[in-house]
Amino acid sequence: MELFVGRIAEKKILSEALASSSSEFLAIFGRSRVGKTFLIRSVFKKQLIFELSGVHDANATEQLLNFSKALADALGSGLAPAAPKNWTEAFWQLREFAAPILKKRKAVIFFDEFP
């Protein structure tokens, strides 16, 4: 059952990015509460392997702890890995997680409301 009204052009752009033979980086912006996150989750639901939502007004330490919890969710683990010391380490952890998946298929990594 389709839950969208409209958004045909947006869904087409997202689907074309997914079908591309290259990696793609998409930035989606707009007013609050218009359905951007719902759109991403709906279009990419089968390909979404990692999702991180930023914490409003959190410092870097809190954001990195949030990252480790999101990585635990993606791994299907109740235990979060140690929080990375910095963003370089965080992205290396994400790379290690995603690499085996990306060898088999295209996947989506989603950063939402990330300050």
- Residue-wise pLDDT tens digits, 58-113: 999 999 999 999 999 999 988 888 999 999 999 999 999 999 999 999 999 999 98
pLDDT of res. 78: 84
Residues 82 and 107 placed together within one structural domain of the fold: yes
Report the domain count for the chain. 2
Residues 3 and 35 placed together within one structural domain of the fold: yes
Residues 80 and 103 placed together within one structural domain of the fold: yes
Q: Is 58 left (phi over 0), alpha (psi -120 to 50) or beta?
A: beta
Helices (H), the chain: 8-19, 36-43, 60-75, 87-104
Residue ranges making up the domain that contains 53: 47-115
Residues 64 and 11 placed together within one structural domain of the fold: no
Residues 25 and 72 placed together within one structural domain of the fold: no
Residues 91 and 113 placed together within one structural domain of the fold: yes
Residues 84 and 54 placed together within one structural domain of the fold: yes
